[in-house]
Every structure is written in C-alpha cells, then in structure tokens.
Amino acid sequence: MLKLSKKYPKKRAFITGAGSGLGKELALHLANDGWTVGITDLKREPIEVVATEIEKRGGKAQLFVFDVSKRDEFKAASQTFLNDNDGIDLLINNAGVGDGGPFTTYDLERWDWMVGINQMGVIYGCHNFLPDMHQAKSGQVINIASAAGFAYIPRVSSYNVTKAAVNALSECLHYESKHLNVDVSVVMPTFFKTNIASGWKGSEKSKKGAEKAVNNSNLEATDVALEILTRSGNGEFRIILPKSARWLNRFIRFFPRQYRKMIFRGEEKRRNRKKNA
C-alpha cells in the first residue's frame, strides 16, 4: 500500500490530464489502493476507458470533461468534486502539452496556448483546491513540471518558461502550506514514454525529434507514476528523475558556464549540419 493511502484514509484525489500517459498511470496506481479519483480530459472517451479500469482495480472514478486553461470550467469541476466528496486529499496537476520552435517565429497565439495549459492550468488547480486543504489542515499537491524547468535549451522557450513557472509556484506554495500540514511536491522528469507531443503545433521535423526522444527513453509512464507517488508520500518536495536528471541538475547548478558552453557547441554543430545538408 502507498504511504499516501495510509496518510489519507479518505483517499480522495483529483488528477488533470488523466485520459492517457502519466495521468492515467497515476490514477490506476491510486485505484489499486481504493481511491476515489476525479479524472479529467478534453474528451470523454479516453477517461471513460480509464474509469472502467479504475473500477476494475477497486477504485471509484468521477469524470470531468473540460479544458484546464478555462478558468470557469476548472472552477466548476473543482467545486463539484469538493461537494460530492466532502473535500480532497490529493491534487495532481498533470495536464500539459509540448511544443517548440525558434522564439522569433513562435507566434503569440501559441504562447497563449502553452501558458494557458502548462502554467495557468496548474495555477487554477492550486487556486481551486488549496484553500480547502488549508482549512482542513491536511492534503498533498503534486505539480508535474519537467527537467525543462531547470535545464533550458534552445527552440523550446515557451515550454521551458511554463515549466520553470510551475517549479517556482510549487516552491512558494511549499513554504506557504507546510505549517498547515499540507505538502507540496514538484516533479521534474526528463523524457519518458508518453504522448506529450500529441498536440505539437511546431514543424513536423521538430515534432518527430520530440517523439524520437520520448520513444527512445527506457522510462515507462507506469514506473514514473509509482516513483512519483512513492517519493511524494515520503515527503520529498523536488522529485527529479531519473538518476541522470539529478546529475544534470547538479551539473547545471555547480558548473553553469560549462553547461552554457556545451549548449553553444551543440548549436554550432546543428548549424553546420544544416549548412552542409
């Protein structure tokens, strides 16, 4: 049994973006321990499939179809969940999208889309559920960010910015909530097998590059989900995974100049390959 299940015997969780990938696997691990899980997606069909699996595993599913970037829709869903379940124990802000392109050609409409989902979606989730947790003096928030929140690389500025924002928000909420017995964790993984590039709006070439990085990973979403739930249950604030990501984080922190030189060398090689193609 997960430590989170022992800590929160009422077992009430709300997970955004649970129709596939990491969100789905988080929901299924909780279902194994008999949690009631509010699962969200833009479309009903994916979460209906997940709901069936949750019920098979002994959990209870509550379905919500809405866009996390829509403030009013998120508020309505959160109020329904809180009313129906008399509160919440675990919030996982997981919904997110990936995209990329050079800053100068990345239009503001795509910035609005990226910020709306990856950043504002997390803010709305915390804003709607944290007051209830603070009042109850109990609860856990897990915000899914990315290693892109500390390792900034070219041509994905919008993604980097939103994930860095989730990291910063999570640290602020960690300080504001700990004395009220509410824990906050932020998760910063590198690539693992998921469908993060499904909504990619950039070039087909850049999309294929992102999909290749995801598919070449040895990390499966179910293993990542279990590690997140385990480590957050152990009280970890910053969950960086896998081990190679933790080494990268240390390298950037202690050797920032070397990291920047490494990025510049990579960019020079890329430009030369493009010139000679």
Residue pLDDT, tens place only, 109-162: 999 999 999 999 999 999 999 999 999 999 999 999 999 999 999 999 999 999
In a domain, 104, yes or no: yes
Structural domain that includes position 83: 3-241
Q: Which of 106, 124, 159, 175 is catalytic?
A: 159
What residues does 189 pair with on adjacent strands?
241
Asked if residue 249 is part of any domain, the answer here is no
The CATH code of the domain that includes 23 is 3.40.50.720
Cβ-proximal residues to 93 (8 Å cutoff; 6+ apart), any chain: 16, 121, 122, 125, 126, 141, 142, 143, 144, 166
Q: Has residue 269 been placed in a domain?
A: no
| pLDDT for the residue 193 | 46
In a domain, 146, yes or no: yes
- Sequence-distant (6+) residues with CB within 8 A of 44 are 63, 65
Q: Which pLDDT value is given to residue 203?
A: 53
Q: What is the pLDDT of residues 16-62, one digit of tens each?
A: 999 999 999 999 999 999 999 999 999 999 999 999 999 999 999 99
Number of domains in the chain: 1
In a domain, 259, yes or no: no
Q: What is the pLDDT of residues 208-259, one digit of tens each?
A: 544 444 555 578 999 999 999 999 999 999 999 999 999 999 999 999 999 9
**Per-residue pLDDT at 195:** 59
State whether the Cα torsion 109-110-114-115 is positive or negative: negative
Q: Is 208 inside any structural domain?
A: yes
159 is catalytic: yes
The dihedral through the CA atoms of 241, 243, 246, 247 has a sign that is: negative
Q: Does 206 have pLDDT greater than 60?
A: no
Q: Which of 16, 232, 26 is nearest to 119 (CA)?
A: 16
Q: What CA–CA distance (Å, rounded) separates 134 from 195?
A: 34
pTM value is: 0.90
What's 234's DSSP letter? T
254: in domain: no
> Is 186 part of a structural domain of the chain?
yes
Q: What is the pLDDT of residue 192?
A: 64
